[in-house]
């Protein structure tokens, strides 16, 4: 597809990233940080594009291109960006100078620590406490489903500093080796580096605060508004890979004396998937362009993009599995891999139900 709404530079970025994806290291040990892959992403300049602040459109183009060919590379890239953005947006000069060059160089893995055992979609109810103690803060509580945990080098941690709902949350940059910080890996359907964290009187200095005290919720939302369209782009990359595989398979596979492509029950399903993918891609790019323009309110556009793209990707992969038949269920098959990978984006960074709530609230604003 030509994507005539993109600039020449944007098309070149997409094409260049697809070429890079084909040269990246193979998958590492499931559920662990693939540090050679981080180093390769940095060597090719992709991590460096996150800093200083990248555009939401470029983020979408990179994530879709990586996901189409190398989902682990896409996830590694995205987790670095998500965890680092609160530091970029709100870190003191010393915190920024300590961590961002190492993150961009692929030398330090970073995590985004927001979700808790009793605070998932209702993140404003989080309870990990940050209590002022002289020139420091003491952090106590738990986090779950945290990117790159428990082996990240630094985390952007969101903790409660006052009993004021969403307006009582503060963000901190917390080194992964801080005394009192521990964690365990969590095994998911798709084995990404995800884990839980335990904070037992973890001391962090006041200059580790990201942004303003009690301003962490705004910082989290600014980060998520930036990244939500690109979650849709990640889903689109997987969906495009699934559609590519389905088209190739149905063009060659014979049944009842003719290729599967000649059966409308097959080809029309793929036509519907292709149409939905193009619509989703335009939604994603529109939300990214709106964010980059500095428009005052873009949250509903990001919600539409993430909702439609992730739901469409689930359908695309499911259809591709169906037209392949049982072979797609074999361990190691591309579609077996994509079937496991595609489910999570409908949940993280705001489940589909939360995206619908954001859109509905905008309608009645």
Catalytic residues: 349
Secondary structure (3-state) at 114? coil
Alpha carbons 125 and 115: distance in angstroms, whole number: 10
DSSP per-residue string spanning 279-313: HHHHHHHHHHHHHHHT-S--HHHHHHHHHHHHHHH
Alpha carbons 80 and 105: distance in angstroms, whole number: 11
Which residues neighbour 169 within 8 Å (Cβ) at sequence distance 6 or greater? Answer: 124, 126, 158, 159, 160, 161, 214, 216, 217, 220
User: What is the token pair recorded at 330?
Assistant: 């074999």
Contact in structure between 270 and 250 (CB atoms under 8 Å):
yes
Alpha carbons 202 and 143: distance in angstroms, whole number: 13
Nearest to 20 by CA among 41, 37, 3: 41
User: What is the token pair recorded at 258?
Assistant: 């003719």
Secondary structure (3-state) at 346? helix
Nearest to 85 by CA among 52, 120, 121: 52
Nearest to 94 by CA among 175, 38, 16, 37: 175
For residue 221, whether the previous peptide bond is cis, meaning omega lies within 30 degrees of 0, is no
């Amino acid at each position: 597809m030509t994507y005539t709404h993109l600039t020449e530079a944007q098309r070149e970025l997409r094409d260049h990233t697809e070429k890079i994806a084909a040269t990246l290291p193979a998958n590492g040990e499931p559920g662990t940080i693939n540090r050679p892959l981080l180093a390769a992403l940095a060597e090719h300049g992709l991590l460096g594009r996150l800093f200083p602040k990248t555009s939401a459109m470029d983020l979408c183009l990179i994530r879709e291109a990586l996901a189409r060919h190398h989902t682990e590379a896409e996830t590694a890239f995205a987790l670095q960006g998500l965890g680092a953005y609160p530091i970029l947006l709100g870190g003191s000069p010393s915190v920024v100078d300590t961590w961002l060059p190492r993150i961009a160089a692929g030398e330090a893995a970073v995590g985004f620590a927001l979700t808790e055992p009793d605070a998932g979609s209702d993140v404003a109810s989080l309870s990990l406490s940050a209590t002022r103690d002289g020139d420091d803060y003491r952090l106590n509580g738990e986090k779950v489903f945290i990117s790159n945990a428990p082996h990240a080098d630094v985390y952007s941690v969101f903790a409660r500093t006052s009993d004021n709902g969403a307006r009582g949350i503060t963000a901190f940059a917390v080194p992964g080796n801080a005394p009192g910080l521990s964690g365990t890996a969590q095994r998911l359907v798709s084995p990404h580096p995800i884990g839980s964290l335990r904070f037992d009187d973890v001391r962090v200095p006041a200059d580790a605060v990201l942004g303003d005290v009690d301003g962490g919720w705004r910082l989290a939302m600014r980060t998520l508004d930036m990244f939500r369209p690109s979650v849709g782009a990640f889903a689109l990359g997987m969906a495009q890979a699934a559609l590519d595989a389905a088209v190739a398979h149905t063009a060659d596979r014979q049944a009842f004396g003719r290729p599967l492509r000649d059966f409308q029950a097959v080809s029309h399903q793929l036509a519907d998937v292709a149409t939905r993918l193009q619509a989703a891609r335009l939604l994603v790019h529109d939300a990214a362009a709106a964010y980059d323009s500095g428009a005052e309110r873009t949250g509903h556009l990001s919600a539409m993009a993430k909702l439609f793209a992730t739901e469409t990707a689930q359908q695309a992969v499911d259809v591709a599995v169906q037209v392949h038949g049982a072979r797609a269920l074999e361990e190691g098959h591309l579609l077996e891999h994509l079937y496991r990978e595609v489910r999570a984006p409908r949940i993280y960074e705001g489940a589909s139900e939360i995206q619908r709530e954001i859109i509905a609230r905008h309608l009645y604003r």
